[in-house]
Structure 1
Amino acid sequence: MWKWLHPYAKTEKAFGLCNTLQPWFAGTFFLLFITGSVWGLLFAPADYQQGDSFRIIYFHVPSAMLSMSAYVAMAIAALVGIVWQWRTAFMTMIAIAPVGAVMTFIALFTGAAWGKPMWGAWWVWDARLTSELILLFLYCGVIALYHAFDDKQQAGKAAAVMALVGVVNVPIIHFSVEWWNTLHQGATITKFDKPSIAPAMLWPLLLNILAFASFIGWVTVLRLKNEILRREIHRPWVKAVLSEKREGANAV
């Protein structure tokens, strides 16, 4: 595995991989998001207790799940950067951070919109909600710490340490509904032996989870490409790429 991955420590190879992945992530996102959202919002049956208000699940659950997954991915990139001193790993880490923060904000916002009619309050200091809010603060902390340094290599190391320390919050979020008595409902789709959701509701949810994952991949590779171009502006291959882009823009 490492033999395959090692070439992508070079920024030029990483940039090329981003160009390859970008259209696949974008196409997958649009296809699955449109299919899953239309299916879930218009054709899935209403919940027998919550009625149509349950349909926010098609945005809340994917964003909540992937806010944690994005943080784990960011922490893995941080670990690779610290252990092997890969600049591209630090760049990947900071490329993921704002995308993960947006996913976390969407999860909190949709959770509040769902909680108001169900619990009678926009916000409660529930274990799941509080730990998810801490996750947003961790994302913001990584971003702020990275931009606090002029030397981006040192910035990457400092932010990576914070990302690794904060990863302890992820299992707390996941298991909070089991460790504490909370208002937030327990697992639904992760009980693969007997999911607590009807198949007609489950399938569009799974499509939107994959769509949100593709969105994170798409935006991350876009941000990583921009970060590489900005950091490697002095490289001949970067100058060639920018020159081609200018020529293409002038031709249009």
Structure 2
Amino acid sequence: MAKAWRWFHQLGSPKFLFQKTGQWLPWIWAATLILLVVGLYYSLWASPIEVRQGQKHSVRIMYIHVPSAALSMVAYIAMAIAAIVGLVWKMKVAFAVTRSIAPVGAAMTFLALFTGSVWGKPTWGTWWEWDARMTSELLLLFLYLGFIALHASFSDRSKADKASSILAIVGVINIPIIYFSVKWWNTLHQGYSITEKGALNPAFQTPLFIMLAAMYLLFIALVLMRLRAEIILRNQKSRWVAEWALGTSAKGDKS
């Protein structure tokens, strides 16, 4: 327990986190690419025919839509947790994490809405419906964009971090609304595809779970890349950043 707590405190060091993420990223990217190749193969070619919708139907969008929709919520929860850590423990790196997650989470939310609309047109006969699930997911996109806009509206980074973190924490109330909307209201959107027993044919589960793993790793890789850039931006006057920049420049000259 003591080691875990010490490691948590070490992550609060920008230099330590920057170095560690540099070590992790190559492995994460390698695993991401492998899973994406395998997942896309199963999703686009090897996945069985959907009995009700057919081989050429847009049901295959599920393999992108479901992971991106799940990630849109998980990313916001992670952002809210980082915001709490930043406000409670005054850990500045946590604010950098919230800034790094927001654009990636917004992209996942937009992807979920877009693929849902493309999937919904042939399935339900409409691109959009003010359904509880879709409306609350759209609100999630606005929360992400609001976080980004609010942070950018302050010239003082410390005030921007605090104000946007409060928004992130308040906005987390929308997550259970999204998740339970198909149970709380009689919505057009279908029920749970993964957690509900028997809702999804086992033949579709393998490619879906592979794509879920691939998309989660992709999300982590993108956030870590943004986090490294954010750390450099926030600590550009630090000595270790100057040393890192000189070392990177020296390696570039040699090559």
Q: What is the TM-score with the length of structure 1 in the denominator?
A: 0.96
How many residue pairs align between the two structures? 250
Of 86, 90, 93, which aligns to 2:95? 90
What do residues 196-230 of structure 1 show as CA deviations (whole Å, max 9, x unaligned)? 22222111100111111101110111101001111
Q: Structure 1 residue aligned with 2:194, among 182, 186, 189?
A: 189
Aligned to 2:231: 228
The match for 1:206 is: 209
* Match in the other structure for 2:175: 170
Please say if 1:180 is aligned against 2:194: no
- Alpha-carbon distance between aligned partners in 2 of 1:234 and 1:225, rounded to the nearest angstrom: 15
Measure the CA separation in 1 of the matches of 2:20 and 2:102. 20
Partners in 2 of 1:21 and 1:74 — Cα distance? 20
Residue in 1 aligned with 2:76?
71
Q: CA deviation at 1:132?
A: 0.3
> In the alignment, does 2:102 pair up with 1:102?
no
Tell me whether 1:156 sits opposite 2:143 in the alignment: no
SS of 1:19's partner is helix
**In 1, distance between residues paired with 2:73 and 2:143?**
11
**Could you tell me the percent identity over the aligned residues?**
46
2:9 aligned partner: 6
One-letter amino acid matched to 2:135: T
Which AA in structure 2 matches 1:116? K
The alignment yields a C-alpha RMSD, in angstroms, of 1.0
Among 124, 129, 133, the residue aligned to 2:129 = 124
8 A Cα contact 1:99 1:220, kept in partner: yes
TM-score of the superposition, structure 2-length normalised? 0.95
CA–CA separation in structure 2 for the residues paired with 1:2 and 1:78: 19
Q: Deviations over 1:39-96 (max 9, x none)?
A: 1110111111112321110000000001100000001100100000111000001100
5+ long unaligned stretches in structure 2: none
- How far apart in 1 are the matches of 2:26 and 2:202? 30
* Distance in 1 (alpha carbons) for counterparts of 2:100 and 2:32: 18
- CA drift of 1:239 comes to 0.5
Report what 1:26 is aligned to.
Answer: 29
**In structure 2, distance between residues paired with 1:244 and 1:169:** 45
